[in-house]
Chain A
Amino acid sequence: MMRPLPIAACLALAFSVQAPAALAQQTATGDADSGRMLTYTCVGCHGIEGYKNAYPHYHVPKIGGQSTEYLVNALTEYRRGTRKHPTMEVQAQGFSDQDIADIAAFLSDLTL
């Protein structure tokens, strides 16, 4: 006989389904100066004009000037593994929420 799900499990399930939409609101205020320091590594791939991934094979996207919200969501999804990319998932796993907010603050401020 199947036991009904405990209330806590049902609540957890409901919140986990809603979580992605609330990603951006959960993060701390970003510090662009800290983000500047954290993004030296990013330049290895995102800082070379015309640079392509080996696999999958396409240009590494331009991310300078994207919004804070977009960048926070992207990094958070890579960290969770809900967005897939071999290199980016590994990179994002090393970042705290504060790191992600800082990186997003620095990158979103960049202009052409």
Chain B
Amino acid sequence: MSRSLKTSLLGFAVALGAGALLAACGGAPAEPGFSGATIASALPAGRIAEGELRANEKGAATGQSCVDCHGADGNSPLDPSYPKLGGQYRDYLAQSLQGYRSGERDHPLMSNQARDLDDQQIADLAAYFASQPAQIRDLHGVHSIN
């Protein structure tokens, strides 16, 4: 076996190991140009104005719109078990809708609500709710408060 072949095989094994380690840890810092299984990033660009219209439209399956249950800005849930959506990360919102659409995530109302959404509609809705004022936050520094 030639030296260069050995070197490239070794490099491949190291890359494979690193990939497996990352997958096992379930998390990695954001990397520009990362091209893993990027479900959310495969969506078209979201349009806030179109998303707002869609968020107010009654869904055929449930007879209800997004804002009927989550509130106009996504922050006034009708039922305490419904999440606040305003200011949530856009790609997380899109991922949630895609999960409900595919059946990977299940909820009596959301599964029906998301079933007929296309990629553009999901991207628009995610863009709209992400653009609204946030009442939710990440956990940065929460243990040093009081």
Q: Do A and B come from one complex?
A: yes
Chain A contact residues, CB within 8 Å of chain B: 20-21, 24, 36, 39-40, 42-70, 73, 82-87, 90, 107, 110-112
20 A-B residue contacts at CB 8 Å?
A21-B108, A36-B143, A47-B141, A48-B140, A50-B30, A54-B22, A54-B28, A56-B37, A57-B41, A59-B90, A59-B91, A61-B89, A62-B137, A63-B136, A64-B142, A66-B83, A67-B82, A82-B106, A84-B99, A110-B139
Main secondary structure of the interface of B (DSSP, over half): loop
Inter-chain contact A62/B88, CB cutoff 8 Å = yes
Inter-chain contact A58/B94, CB cutoff 8 Å = yes
B51: min CB distance to chain A, Å: 17
Q: Which residues of chain B have C-beta atoms less than 8 A from A46's C-beta?
A: 138-139
The answer for the CA separation of A44 and B137 in the assembled complex, in Å, is 15
Total number of A-B contacts with CB less than 8 angstroms? 139
Contact with B137, one of A48, A85, A112 (Cβ below 8 angstroms): A112
Q: Which residues of chain A have C-beta atoms less than 8 A from B142's C-beta?
A: 39, 43, 47, 64, 110
Q: Which residues of chain A have C-beta atoms less than 8 A from B134's C-beta?
A: 62, 112
Take A47-B142, A57-B38, A86-B26 as given contacts and tell me if A64 and B95 are in contact as well, using a CB distance cutoff of 8 Å. no
Main secondary structure of the interface of A (DSSP, over half): loop
Q: Is B1 an interface residue (CB 8 A)?
A: no
Question: 1/0 per residue B76-104: CB within 8 Å of A?
Answer: 01011111100111111011000100001
B19: min CB distance to chain A, Å: 9
Contact with A59, one of B82, B92, B104 (Cβ below 8 angstroms): B92
A80: min CB distance to chain B, Å: 11
Question: 1/0 per residue B60-83: CB within 8 Å of A?
Answer: 000000000000000001011111
Take A39-B143, A43-B142 as given contacts and tell me if A55 and B137 are in contact as well, using a CB distance cutoff of 8 Å. no
The answer for the CA separation of A84 and B22 in the assembled complex, in Å, is 18
Inter-chain contact B136/A55, CB cutoff 8 Å = no
**Which residue of A is nearest B92, CB measured?**
A61
The answer for the CA separation of A93 and B84 in the assembled complex, in Å, is 25
Within B99-120, the residues touching A (CB, 8 Å) are 99, 104-106, 108
**Which residue of B is nearest A61, CB measured?**
B92
Inter-chain contact B138/A57, CB cutoff 8 Å = no
Take A64-B136, A64-B139, A84-B104 as given contacts and tell me if A69 and B84 are in contact as well, using a CB distance cutoff of 8 Å. no
